[in-house]
Amino acid sequence: MSEAARQPDVRYDGSFVPSVQGLRAIAALSVLMDHFYDMPKGGMYDIPNPGFLPPLWPWLQSVINVGGHGVELFFMISGFLIPASLVRHGSLARFFFDRVLRIMPVFLVLHVALFVIGPVVGYKFFRGIDVGSYLGIFLANLFFLQDALGLPAAQQNAWTLTYEWAFYIWFAVTFAALRVGGRMMAAPLILFGFACALHWPITAFFCIGMVFSSTGIRFPVQGRLGLAAGVVCGVAMYASLVLFHPFVALIPGFLLFGMVLAPGSGIANALSAPALQFVGKISYSLYLVHPFVLFPLQVTGLKLVAMGADRWLLWFAFIILGLIASLAASAISYQLIEVRLRRVLDGALRGLVFGPLDKIEQPLPPASGAVRR
């Protein structure tokens, strides 16, 4: 690796990085694109038709169908941001308190809405389950234990939050062990992390972000060449996830993220565009909210195609209306829940939680000079 690519004195300090915000937008929009393809196939109701997805060329189906792998981009971003966040908070309790306020309000509002409204509107997820199963699935999904208990995921996209929370807990505990007891105490936890990556390969994408968070490695490829290189690496990452193995996709993913983080690189400048900054800002709400927004459009499309409406017309209308409605609903969710409700909860709970802790809690010991903050 050249000296220009490695800048040892540069460490991520938790400051805002516009290109990472833009990459969030790409991740959320790619998942949305995948659902524009998947949801028109039907299957949500027992309506006797094959859905309103028109016949598409196989290559186009393959291109659209890779969109779900935007979650790997989210994992890289989390791996990059979380280490600095933990250092900035200075204690595990404050770190997890802010993580809960960041993740849970939107999830919880949608979780309750789904379990209250879903059975009323006939969502197939609730067909044929008794009260005991209903409560069990509700609680398992509430605490992100559905996979461990072999239960279905209620919210279509919330399965990724299980991996996010597992990463938060693993990194926080490993970080604390390293600070308190050194490498000997942290070594078993690090080995456990590697074992998890081998068992669940997509979790290895957290490691890409962690590498860039703790080092000065960047790939500053400028101008149009940098933009083209970033696009090629992004396409190669998505293609490798589908055609080969997640570990193969780590290579183009690493190169892509290194270019995204390099100030002034072609791909970083493109991701800093105002439209992508807006979508990136609301990306968490967009990621969770859009299936709820698309559901009534899906039901309407299934009924209209059964009445003889043209599939191409229905699909294009589904995409256009779905995109507009998803962005609008996500912007509202961001303002009302992520900003205002979070502010209210923070003001009401922070003093209540940390008042007693301030008397007994000790901050994490400072780093031994390995990372400057």
Reported as a single tens digit per residue, the pLDDT across 165-212 is 999 999 999 999 998 888 899 999 999 999 999 999 999 999 999 999
- The chain-wide mean pLDDT, for the chain, equals 89
Percent of the chain surpassing pLDDT 90: 72
One-letter amino acid of 224: R
Domain positions in the chain are 18-360
- What is the model's pTM? 0.90
> Sorting pLDDT into bands at 50, 70 and 90, what band is 46?
very low
Lowest mean pLDDT among 123-132, 271-280, 334-343: 123-132
Contact 329, 286 (CB under 8 A): no
Which of 314, 267, 319 lies closest to 18 in space, CA to CA? 267
Which of 5, 12, 20 lies closest to 276 in space, CA to CA? 20
